[in-house]
Structure 1
């Protein structure tokens, strides 16, 4: 199917199904196409898209107005002012389509919309997240359990609605959340192992409930969302610079990628074009972030199976890398290095030379190290054939990043839907097909090498000029879509502006929404002691799905 033909076929299929489709403003969420649907046709459109092989890249809601329409309200009240707008992003061959619909808010009635989860199991928790925070119900959703809802909220409290105060309404201590109804397997010899949410290490809170027979894992179910920092609510009313600072703290190990996604969304909404030098510097920061995190995880995976040598070496190299980031960009994790319209730090001639030397030194150090990791009997014994994620499961869940690439799914925003400066440089995408822990390690090692090569190419052609331009305040109602390839995979960001350039809605979607469910599938057939290495090989972001 040639480029864009899929969109014509999709529209034709909707017509054949007697669904009334209305084109929206094609520029509103560029580069995505936009399609306005009647609410009654929402679920059916999802089913058609799944049959055509479109990948679901996320669903979110945008509550409009201040609350439900009360009985006796003035006749002039607009439906758009008292409604929930629901948006879903679909991808095919690097092209994006945004489906939109309006669900009116009616007094004393919960808004209802058909679910995409029966066709796209990867959006299960995203729909439940939206349900808990806005009150919308997804008809025919296979799992009606709450996901993010805290005991601090009553059954009729929906924190993302405008009439809910950011400080909440609860007085006193919130009761412990101990009644989540985990699914259980019954049978002789089947037992449960609860792990977390508080762990012995420094990881964030997350609960893993195993059903096992002997050492064999029969089922794993995750329970996340223990913190709920209120990121989406905290964004409301911020100025663009304030949103950038918040975005950089959604998931601290992806601060550059999240800030870039937010900047891209806001800049598209405002019609702002950052200078070429700024875009190249953003890419340099993003590739440095990718390398640092992959180095840390490669070592941690090896450490989980007792190969401490690789862990020590990767930790040493990562520490040197992050110290250089602190020296040149002001922060080990490179927080607050991006600003609306550009970047905050330029590269001096001295810094330029230091980066060149660093790239060469790291490449020299990792080549023999990666050779050992790739072919060492004790590692092979524990990693090969462990935690296999079948390509069919990766595709069904919508996995991107190293998890998808290790199972044969090579989608990468930098190559398949390129943005500056990646549209001017070759992006090598590693691919493995085994889908096991070893494959995920090999993808990470190849990405480190590819990023090192790319960093030198970016320095070779680093444009001269300014590193930022003034950011014009967007009009009220302006919307923007950000799509960035973070080190975990595709990051999506939606922004809508209110008056005076303030943020009315911010939604960041981490790739971990799709890879956490993958962990539940790939652990099947493995033994309980292999869970730590399987978990680390996926390394989903707790914070990224605990907004």
Structure 2
């Protein structure tokens, strides 16, 4: 279904992607909000993100972004009052289950609540915030009264003969972000898993309101360190569309190069960790070596191992020296050969395959139900990749080949990682061989009138989304950033059902979702 088919009277086209897609913004009433959600679902559309904001004069609005055939539909619903018992809007979780946690986060941040929602438990507020405090309200009614201890979270209880609970986290062994996992099991068979996240909440969205427009890419790039390129690019794309800026072709191609190098670095690390979680330490050693070589060349070419602060509004911060073009092409040849050798070893190692095959199955139907995106969706047979479905420069000039697998298990998610490495190597070679000439940066200026922009980038986990509202004076009125982990975390809860507890680390790692990107 195309966005124009909705025919909203106040629909505004925000910007055009380089290819066939666009972004549209419309304001509507509560009835249309609910009706549109059902229409989008029936048409095969997808909910990208849901968030709230405080507008001038103390009014509020809810926003939702949908992915449709021809791009993004951003809808806003005015909500009169976010204080006290006000600020209610129609629940979307019955249409899009992935909206459940987003709506719970909106209440914690703004005090806006979804009417008749089944799950209204706090999500980001663990009980340690001031009473009646909502950090995104400009004049929050919070007092200085704090709870003396973290609130007891009402996990769903599973009853039955032989059922018991195993609590894991939020503090874990090793260097890992915090998250709590509550298992209900019989013996070692998992009947239910429930996650509690939000421990990595840092007030990112409030910090954006205090950040200059042309500096915000630095904050966006620090939302999740392993996705710094995707978040920074999505933010810069939103700024450039809000300011109607034009980016030099060379800068666009360099952005593509950076994004594919970020994708490969993460896949190399994950493949080693997956081997290690299945008791194959040789895999960890070899992939750690390959990833380290990859990051060291990043540092030599772009002055940062993880490529932070390289994508800036108007282009990129650093052009690439010709000698590093040769070095990267040589490295691509070497990595391609060595990863293929490792894939043969993984495929032939019976112990690995015994652990991978059939573990953590996520069917295509379940993936569609939860709105799963990115690598996890493609490993369940859903060929979704916005570099192909909604191409942006430079991907509209290259033919990205979508990698997918129908099995939906750990083995499928491992196979997709291997094959995405080969595809990203192919794209890097294209970007370097055909790199346009010219400059790498164009100054970006805001004209003074209020404006909006969106950024939408296929990161290594899935699509990263940024919605930006810019005020009259060129300051950030609201910046909402969305990580694909919001859609994918509930799928992990589903994928573990029927498996044994010792397989959870392996299944969880096969998704490798973000805490920091999710919690903000």
TM-score higher than 0.5 here?
yes
Tell me the C-alpha RMSD between the 2 structures. Answer: 1.8
Alpha-carbon contact 2:131-2:143 (below 8 Å) kept: no
How do 1:240-259 residues align onto structure 2 when only pairs under 5 Å count? 240-259=213-232
**Any conservation in 1 of the 2:126–2:151 contact (CA below 8 Å)?**
no
Partner in structure 2 of residue 84 of structure 1:
60
Give the TM-score taking structure 1 as reference length.
0.91
Partner deviation per Cα, 1:180-220 (whole Å, 9 max, x = no partner): 11011011100000000000111111000000000100000
**1:18-417 correspondence to structure 2 within 5 Å:** 21-27=8-14, 31-65=22-56, 81-93=57-69, 95-105=71-81, 108-164=84-140, 170=144, 175-417=148-390
Confirm whether residue 455 of structure 1 aligns to residue 428 of structure 2: yes
Deviation at 1:141, TM superposition (A): 1.4
Q: 3-state SS of the aligned residue for 1:193?
A: strand
1:70 corresponds in structure 2 to: none
Runs of 4+ in structure 1 displaced over 6 angstroms?
A: none
- Mapped to 2, the partners of 1:430 and 1:264 lie a distance apart of 25
Shift of 1:241: 3.3
Asked if the contact 1:475/1:497 (under 8 Å) is kept, the reply is: no
| Secondary structure at 1:32 match in 2 | strand
Q: Could you tell which deviates more after superposition, 319-328 or 146-155?
A: 146-155
Q: SS in structure 2 opposite 1:332?
A: coil
1:107 CA displacement: 6.5
Shift of residue 25, structure 1, vs aligned partner? 1.6
Tell me how far apart the structure 2 counterparts of residues 507 and 8 of structure 1 sit (CA, whole Å).
25
Conserved? CA contact 1:289–1:333, under 8 Å: yes
1:286-319 residue CA offsets vs partner (Å, 9 max, x unmatched) = 1000000000001101110101111111100000
Count of paired positions: 516
Give structure 1 stretches of 5+ with no counterpart: 12-20, 66-80
Q: Does 1:488 align with 2:461?
A: yes
Counterparts of 1:411-430 in structure 2, within 5 Å, are: 411-430=384-403
CA contact (8 A) 2:241 2:454 kept: yes
Partner SS state of residue 500, structure 1: coil
Q: CA deviation at 1:174?
A: 6.5
Provide the secondary structure at the position in 2 that maps to 1:26: strand
Q: Calculate the TM-score normalised by the size of structure 2.
A: 0.96
Any idea what the Cα deviations from partners look like across 1:327-360, whole Å, max 9, x if unmatched?
Answer: 1111110111111101111111111111111111
* 2:14–2:241 CA contact under 8 A, matched in 1: no
Determine the C-alpha separation between the residues in 2 that align with 1:258 and 1:298.
23
After TM superposition, give the deviation of residue 376 of structure 1 in Å: 2.2
For residues 8 and 283 of structure 1, do their structure 2 counterparts lie closer, same or farther at Cα, with a shift above 3 Å needed?
closer
